Structure 1
C-alpha cells in the first residue's frame, strides 16, 4: 500500500519540502530516521516561481509533517490554520531536490535539508 507521504509529494501543486535528511521512500534503502515537513504553496495571481522578477507573494496555506522510521511514515502534524502557519519560517533558499519515491523512481521537488528549521518546526508543534 502506498504511503501517504509518497502520495502527498506527488500532488501537482507547488510545495516546499523541509527535511532532516535526504528523502528515500523505497524499501530497499536503509535510510536513517527522517522528519519531513511539506509546506503547500497557495498560488496568487502574478506570482513568479523565482520571486526575483515577479510580483505576487508566496503564501503557505497548509503544512503537513511526517516522521519516517523503518521505511514507514507517520503523519505527526497537519494544519490549515493561518495563525499557526505564520509561526513557521519559510525556506526561501529552497532549491531543486532529488528524492526517491516508494517505487524507486527519482522525483524532483523544491526543498531544503535543514536541521535548524526542522528543530524550530518541532518546537512549534509540541
Structure 2
C-alpha cells in the first residue's frame, strides 16, 4: 500500500498532462534512436506506436538471447518478444513511469554498443 501511495503521489505531483507529454517525447526519442541504428519496429508506423513501449526487430544475424544478456550486463534491462509467431525476432523496451531522457540515452547507447555501432 505504501508503494502505491508513493507512486500515485509522484504521478499527481508531476501532473497527468505533463506525464503524458513526457511519455510521448521519450517514446519519440526512442523510436528515432532505433531508426537511426537501422532497426525496424513493431508497429512500422509511429502513428500506431505506444508512447510507453518500443518493440524493435533484431538486426539480421543477431542472436536475441545473447543480445539481451549483453545489454543486461551493461546495466540495462530489456525484454524479449511476446507475440508467438515472431517473439524470437524482436525485443521490447519499456519507457514509462519515471523514465527520463538520461535513462533513454543510456538505453540507446547500450543497444548501439552491443550491436557494435
Q: Same fold (TM over 0.5)?
A: no
Q: Which has the higher strand share?
A: 1
Task: Answer 1 or 2: which has greater helix percent.
Answer: 2
Query: TM-score range with shorter-chain normalisation?
Result: under 0.3
TM-score under structure 2 normalisation?
A: 0.27
Higher relative contact order (CA 8 A, sep 6+): 1
Higher alpha-carbon Rg: 2
Q: How high is the TM-score relative to the length of structure 1?
A: 0.26
